[in-house]
A and B are shown apart, each in its own frame.
Chain A
Amino acid sequence: DAKTTQPPSMDCAEGRAANLPCNHSTISGNEYVYWYRQIHSQGPQYIIHGLKNNETNEMASLIITEDRKSSTLILPHATLRDTAVYYCIVREDNYGQNFVFGPGTRLSVLP
């Protein structure tokens, strides 16, 4: 089972920031938080990941709480093309590619 909990859906107005929450209360010290998104039925696209510090790249920012039990993905200026399912994932193993995908959050960016 996925080790994360996300709201099933969210709406965001175009041009506004989209803040997607994720709970991962059982995360262990060596586990990273990853965010991916899937547009229509395409392959998942990597967005960002982090361990305990906040991270930012050209796509998004990742804010991880100090106790690491939750995080927020921020899309600073959402566009219609950001409409997708967003997955928050905690790596479950210390090697290999055991990304466990839950149902994610369906983000709808509205004009």
Chain B
Amino acid sequence: NAGVTQTPKFQVLKTGQSMTLQCAQDMNHEYMSWYRQDPGMGLRLIHYSVGAGITDQGEVPNGYNVSRSTTEDFPLRLLSAAPSQTSVYFCASSWGALNTEAFFGQGTRLTVV
């Protein structure tokens, strides 16, 4: 049981490049989400999904796209990377709404130069 798996662990992009951060969970969780964490700060919600085919914006969605075609996968796309998107990105999943814990991946450290 791998839990929540994020790939890659590290990535360096040039300004304007695009890329997809992958997130997969093997726990059949309905709920998945993406957060970013800047140095010395807490996590901020980017996008989340309450089930396959359903996504919604979080606190800081600009510059990011998501889709949820399967229960297992929730990729995060950066269409045109900017230095302001340099951060550590965490994916999380959980069974449902209230009264459930969320499981987090180990993060992707992204640097945009």
| Residues of A participating in the B interface, judged by any CB pair closer than 8 Å | 2, 30, 32, 34, 41-46, 49, 51, 87, 91, 94-104
A94 to B90 alpha-carbon distance, docked (Å): 22
A71 to B56 alpha-carbon distance, docked (Å): 30
Q: A50 to nearest B CB, angstroms?
A: 9
**Which residues of A are found within 8 Å of B88, using beta-carbon distances?**
41
- In-complex Cβ contact of B45 among A32, A34, A98 (8 A): A98
Q: Does B32 contact A (CB under 8 A)?
A: yes
Q: B59 to nearest A CB, angstroms?
A: 8
For residues 42 through 87 of chain B, which have their beta carbon under 8 Å from a beta carbon of chain A?
A: 42-45, 48, 50, 56, 58-59
Given known contacts A42-B107, A43-B105, A45-B104, is B44 in contact with A30 (CB within 8 Å)? no
| Residues of B participating in the A interface, judged by any CB pair closer than 8 Å | 4, 31-33, 35, 40-45, 48, 50, 56, 58-59, 88, 90, 92-94, 97-99, 101-107, 109
Question: In this complex, what residue of B is CB-closest to A100?
Answer: B45
Interchain CB contact under 8 A, B31 and A99: no
Q: B38 to nearest A CB, angstroms?
A: 11
Interchain CB contact under 8 A, B97 and A96: yes
A96 to B47 alpha-carbon distance, docked (Å): 10
Given known contacts A43-B105, A97-B33, A98-B58, is B48 in contact with A51 (CB within 8 Å)? no
- In-complex Cβ contact of B92 among A32, A41, A87, A97 (8 A): A97
Interchain CB contact under 8 A, A30 and B98: yes
A47 to B58 alpha-carbon distance, docked (Å): 24
**Which residues of A are found within 8 Å of B94, using beta-carbon distances?**
97
Interchain CB contact under 8 A, A99 and B106: no
A32 to B66 alpha-carbon distance, docked (Å): 27
Interchain CB contact under 8 A, B105 and A103: no
Interchain CB contact under 8 A, A32 and B98: yes
Given known contacts A2-B42, A44-B90, A103-B41, is B50 in contact with A96 (CB within 8 Å)? yes
User: What are 17 A-B pairs with beta-carbon distances under 8 A?
Assistant: A41-B88, A44-B90, A45-B104, A46-B101, A46-B103, A49-B101, A51-B99, A91-B98, A94-B97, A95-B50, A97-B32, A97-B45, A97-B102, A98-B45, A98-B48, A99-B33, A101-B43
